[in-house]
Copies of this chain bind each other. A is one copy, B any other.
Amino acid sequence: MHTLKSVQMLIDQTLKNQNFNDAPIELYKPISYMLSLGGKRMRPALTLLACDLYGGDINKALMPALGLEIFHNFTLIHDDIMDLAPIRRGKETVYKKWNTNIAILSGDAMFILAYKYLAQTDSTILPEIIEIFNKAALEVCEGQQYDMNFETAKNISIPDYLNMIRLKTAVLLGASLMIGAVIGGAKNQEDKKNIYSFGENIGLAFQLKDDLLDVFGNEKKFGKKSGGDIATNKKTFLYLKAFEIAKGKDFNKLKDAFENTDEVEKINSVKDIYNFLNIKKYTEIEMDKFYQKALTHLDLINLPDIKKTELKTLAENLMSREN
């Protein structure tokens, strides 16, 4: 059985050995750049661990797993244009380092590369792999569109928000696992649905953890300035929950705090109100709900518990992480 650490090393090593340096360099350089910025390699790790769960040969899942990592990085390149984000993983984003046109086009090329890697699998399971992937990829676009809509929309509910992060983030974790399981030999439809739902719920918990870290994370450990979501009035779970439960004077204080034009004051005063309203606790409860749901789906998979250890460890790590 492979460990999370060992599959992550294998992924990093294999990714380093790929050659993305074709001509024209303006198209391919941003692709190698983006992939060299690192990251948790969570999606391909899930694919390999799910393949291993079924006793499959993880080398057979390696190229499709890289395809999922390449796809994820492509979405980041395009998202960074749309969000005007200057920094990604401590480095300049592609559109900042080059320009928007190059970021659009090298993103498109990267997307095709994702399919090229994904298609390196047994032809008998290719239609199923492509179908799982297409569905998730389209949902990721839908999630990004909702995310953009929410910037200006009024009356976003918590279920709206949860659905948005489900689409934008969670479904790809589900799909990464499901694809790994199929390559590993999973045949039972219920099992496949359960491993997908394990990933989807872990993804929801993961995003709530991200929202929490953005406000309450240790800046040094989290690797970025905290309070970014507050500064940009992002309608996260914390924001929506706070406005939901704040009444009367508290509601007005919260509203005023978000309208403060001094960024440092704004972040501090919103944090104070979040603390007063116990928002951290509410978020942790919601997060834990999804985490427990994820574990239930993992339990339901018709395989010995001992085989599920690494996936459980990965889920625990994601929940207890500080970055």
Contacts and interface: CB of A to CB of B under 8 A. Distances in A.
A232 interface: no
A145 to B, nearest CB: 4
B105 A134 contact: no
A243 interface: no
A156 interface: no
A159 interface: no
A144 interface: yes
Identify whether the interface residues of A are mostly helix, strand, loop, or mixed. helix
Nearest to A137: B112
B141 A109 contact: yes
A76 interface: no
B24 A105 contact: no
**What number of copies of this chain does the assembly contain?**
2
A148 interface: yes
A261 interface: no
A78 B137 CA distance: 18
Interface in A97-125: 100-102, 104-105, 107-109, 111-113, 115-116, 119, 123-124
B119 A131 contact: yes
A74 to B, nearest CB: 8
A30 to B, nearest CB: 11
A24 B143 CA distance: 9
A216 interface: no
Interface in A131-145: 131, 134, 137-138, 141-142, 144-145
Nearest to A81: B104
A264 interface: no
Interface of A: 22-24, 26-27, 78, 81-82, 100-102, 104-105, 107-109, 111-113, 115-116, 119, 123-124, 126-127, 130-131, 134, 137-138, 141-142, 144-146, 148-149
Given A104-B104, A105-B145, A119-B134, 16 more contacts: A24-B149, A26-B145, A26-B149, A27-B141, A78-B104, A78-B105, A81-B104, A82-B101, A105-B141, A105-B148, A108-B108, A109-B138, A113-B138, A115-B115, A123-B126, A126-B130
